[in-house]
Structure formats: structure tokens, C-alpha cells
Amino acid sequence: MFPKPLLDIYRRAVVDKKSGTELRRIVKKVSDKGYLVNGKHYKKVPRSFDAEHPNAEFLLYNGLTARIEETISKAFFSDAMVSVLPVIWICCVSKGRFRLNWRTPVSTP
């Protein structure tokens, strides 16, 4: 979810001729590769924007994400995972920046 100041900047970029066209191009490229692009939150385009704008759909977003769904192997849920993954990855967001922490599992006797 975009904080208010970033949401305002995002919306201006969505309706800008150059950046709006680039946004559509990027979303199409990512979608064509199988990713689901979403972030839709609002039911109506904000009052100060044209609901008929070519990018009006993106004005309904309060964030922008891309994800892919894949089938997870049954092995992922087995005890064998402990030996397959020597590192546990913990992802978190800190002060607006993505950070990846690595923790080595503790071995048990």
C-alpha cells in the first residue's frame, strides 16, 4: 500500500502521457510472462481524475504488486525440507527498503 504522499505521485504518473504509457507497457510485459499484477483497492476513480482515461484502471490501485502462483511440491511440506534448505530466508520490509535476513538453522542432537 502506498503512503499518501507516494499515492499522489503515483496517480500523477499514471495519467502522465509518457510515464502512463510506460506503466501500461511494463504491466503488459510482466503479465505476459505469467505474473499477476494487482493492487486494486478503490471502487471509483478519484474525483480529480478522468474516469475515461486510458489508465483509469490503475487509479483504482493503492499499491502495485506482481506475483506468480505455482504448484508447490509435496516435498516442501516434508521433514526432508530441513536437509534441503540449509538456510532459512526471512524477508521483511524495514523503513521502506527491502531487507533479507539469513539465519542458519540450529542443529538438534
58-69 pLDDT, tens per residue?
999 999 888 887
3-state SS, residue 100? strand
**pTM of this prediction?**
0.63
Question: Which of 39-43, 56-60, 84-88, 94-98 has the weakest average pLDDT?
Answer: 94-98
Burial letters 83-107, b for 16+ CB under 10 A, else e: eeeeeeeeeeeeeeeeeeeeeeeee
Arithmetic mean of pLDDT, 100-104: 45
Q: Could you tell me the pLDDT band of residue 108, with boundaries at 50, 70 and 90?
A: very low
Domain map (residue ranges) of the chain:
4-67, 77-103
Give the pLDDT score at 83: 59
Would you say residue 72 has pLDDT above 50? yes
Would you say residue 80 has pLDDT above 70? no
Give the pLDDT score at 71: 78
2-51 pLDDT, tens per residue?
899 999 999 999 999 999 999 999 999 999 999 989 999 999 999 999 99
